[in-house]
Structure 1
Amino acid sequence: MKSKNNNKMEFKNNNYQIYNDDCVNQLSKMENNVFDFSIFSPPFAELYVYSDDPRDMGNVLNYDEFFNHFSFLTPELYRTLKPGRLIAVHCMDVSLQKGKDGVIGLKDFSGDLIRNFTDQGFIYHTRVTIWKNPVTEMQRTKALGLLHKTIKKDSSMSRVGGADYILVFRKPGENKVPITHQDTDQNKENYLPVDLWQKYASPVWNDINYSNTLQYRSARADKDEKHICPLQIETIERCLHLWSNEGDNVLSPFSGIGSEGHTALKMNRKFTGIELKPSYFQQMHRNLERLLESKHQLEIF
């Protein structure tokens, strides 16, 4: 079902509901305790601007203004998540820039997110570090601290490569529907043998394929010079496998082109997605429909 409300689109069916809207506004309309799990990658403060919409949390003057805006979202995430269930937030620490900040260094974005969520009442549950290739980062960013010439000139300015993180938060209360796994039938989705569990339980996931993402090029709008960086499919798969059941309702308040939704539907979950930018929203809808069509064809044959 498709509908428009104040020029905003939405699509709903038995598998997903997606909204082209501001996430705070849309979540405020939803009931308490409706989501079983949430996974998303928020805007990384003011690092990237995705649109000129004033409701875009990346479209801010500075780092502090981002968290002023983000602080309106966390109460809605807390209210709509079921007790005892989890939220997984993908992030990285953000660079300080000489021209903009006066110094070269890092902002503790992961730590500030932890403080934001725990101030709202969430329990800081766990953290996964996702390894990234420092050579690739150096080639992409030309960061002074990663250049080989820096260790020749003054190694006090050298640094290690930046990792990604999955920060996991739990809402207090009893989880009335346990998330269960078994190690006897590998044909079932909740199969989690001890060797795979040991891999998941590692504090560092060093085998994530960063090129395994959804197609995104057609999501770029006219004059869209900014950044599209879909969350890696393997990261989403592991989080969903570990922290949700089949049939669970999975939320992404920053859905982008639908990486979390695509993976959730593929793994027999339901999905609720909210995305502010129309071109991203439309690409998300196409990606979800293609996934459902491919599943339907497999069921036929």
Structure 2
Amino acid sequence: MKVIDQITKENYALYQGDCVEVLKGIPDNSIHYSIFSPPFASLYTYSNSDRDMGNCSKDEQFYKQFEFLVSELYRVIKPGRLISFHCMNLPMMKSKDGVIGLKDFRGELIKLFVDAGFIFHSEVCIWKNPVTEMQRTKALGLLHKQIKKDSSMCRQGIPDYLITMRKPGENLERITHTNESFPVDLWQNYASPVWMDIKQSNTLQRNSARDEKDERHICPLQLDVIQRGIELWSNPGDIVLDPFAGIGSSIYQALLMNRKGVGIELKDSYFKQAKLNCENAAKKVEERANEITMEDYIKRMMAN
């Protein structure tokens, strides 16, 4: 299996298939930036496909499969350019792992990228509301009653991270900004090691992508996170890649920011929703291009 379905437009392309196999068809050193959220190793069920990395029964199997992806990503990214992945550390459960604790998923992924030749460029911690996590997961360590019973089992909430890796080499197309487009106060916010202002609910609509037959988890990456990564580490017209496109969030945002996008998604219902979302983004860009300001309108009227 290489490509099950695909859609290619002027500024974006979406492919349904195994991301490692599809990436093999992308030329060396051709992608300017990549941002994505990898599946969580053996934590959630995303689909019933044997090719779904999230369906690995053991963490070791997941990391072995993920190595193939990292190798392909290293090949296709331009020298000096960057890849950002969104992740969190994973809870260990008594029923599955024998103990209650945390797995260093973030650290394991960083190691895989470094072993493949990438440079660990930067990371930002993304704050999440621990009350929301407690209500969603009922995690023992976050329950208030636990602090009264035995606080040795209490813990903090689990934040998200945006980890950015850089491919060695000289970046031949500098990414430049002006004071007008990137003022000092905005840079200071982006440069903070902790982003406190990411809106967890600012995601693409996801209900129509649900497939109750084989899907147990869907959580689109926040558009705020995608927007910041693209703004920091790409130029207008650059190609942005998402090998786990899901419902198309990264490509959607890239199009709105006048970039080009390449997305790969295995699951059929996600892929169909990604097509709709990217079509919507392309339509918004076209409408925006056709808009004229009031000043331009008055000038045209006066000229006539």
TM-score (norm 2): 0.94
Distance of aligned partners of 1:16 and 1:64 in 2 relative to their CA distance in 1, 3 Å threshold: same
Q: Does 1:233 align with 2:223?
A: yes
Contact 2:3 2:22 in 1 (8 A): no
Residue deviations 1:141-181 (CA, integer Å, cap 9, x gap): 00000001111111110001110000100000000001101
The answer to whether 1:200 aligns with 2:190 is yes
- From the CA coordinates, give the structure whose radius of gyration is larger: 2
SS at structure 2 position matched to 1:58: helix
Q: For 2:262, what is the secondary structure of its paired residue?
A: strand
Residue 289 of structure 1 is matched in structure 2 by 279
Q: What residue in structure 2 maps to residue 188 of structure 1? A: none
Q: 1: CA distance between counterparts of 2:67 and 2:92?
A: 22
After TM superposition, the structure 1 = structure 2 runs for residues 215-254 of structure 1, keeping only pairs within 5 Å, are 215-254=205-244
Q: Which residue of 2 aligns with 1:214?
A: 204
- C-alpha distance in 2 between matches for 1:37 and 1:283: 23
Per-residue deviation, 1:6: 7.3
**1:111: how far off?**
0.3
2:266 is aligned, of 254, 271, 276, to 276
Aligned to 1:38: 34
Q: Is the Cα contact below 8 Å between 2:2 and 2:22 reproduced in 1?
A: no
Q: Which of residues 117, 120, 130 in structure 1 aligns to 2:116?
A: 120
SS in 2 for 1:138: helix
Please name the residue that 1:187 is paired with.
none
Aligned to 2:21: 25
Q: Taking every aligned residue pair, what percent have the same amino acid on both sides?
A: 57
- Amino acid corresponding to residue 262 of structure 1 in structure 2: Y
- CA distance in 2 between partners of 1:60 and 1:48 (Å): 10
Give the residue type in structure 1 aligned to 2:195: W
Change over 3 Å in CA distance of 1:7–1:273 after alignment to 2: closer
Confirm whether residue 56 of structure 1 aligns to residue 52 of structure 2: yes
- Once the two structures are TM-superposed, the CA of residue 222 in structure 1 deviates from its matched residue by 4.6
Contact 2:133 2:157 in 1 (8 A): yes
Q: Does residue 300 of the first structure (1) align with residue 290 of the second (2)?
A: yes
Compared CA separation, residues 66 and 6, structure 1 to 2 (3 A): closer
Distance 2:204 2:191 in 1: 26
> Offset of 1:295 from its aligned partner?
2.2
Runs (5+) with no aligned partner, structure 1: 185-190
Q: Who is 2:246 aligned against?
A: 256
Instruction: Give the corresponding residue for 2:302.
Output: none
Q: 1:225 to 1:73 in 2, by over 3 A?
A: closer
Matched, 1:91 2:81: no
Q: CA deviation at 1:300?
A: 2.6
Q: What's the counterpart of residue 13 of structure 1?
A: 9
Looking at structure 1, the residues matched to 75 and 244 of structure 2 have their Cα atoms a distance apart, in angstroms, of 17
Asked if residue 129 in structure 1 is aligned to residue 119 in structure 2, the reply is no
Cα distance between partner residues in 2 of 1:105 and 1:222: 30
Cα deviation code 1:241-268 (max 9, x no counterpart): 1111100000000000000000000000
**Corresponding residue for 1:164?**
160
CA distance in 1, matches of 2:198, 2:109: 23
What is the TM-score when the length of structure 1 is the normalising length? 0.95
SS of residue paired to 1:79? helix
The Cα shift of 1:203 comes to 0.1
Partners of 2:214 and 2:206 in 1: how far apart?
A: 13
Range 241-250 or range 291-300, more displaced:
291-300
Query: 2:72 pairs with 55, 72, 76, which one?
Result: 76
2:277 partner amino acid:
N
Cα RMSD over matched residues? 1.1
Q: Aligned partners of 2:121, 2:285: CA distance in 1, in Å?
A: 34
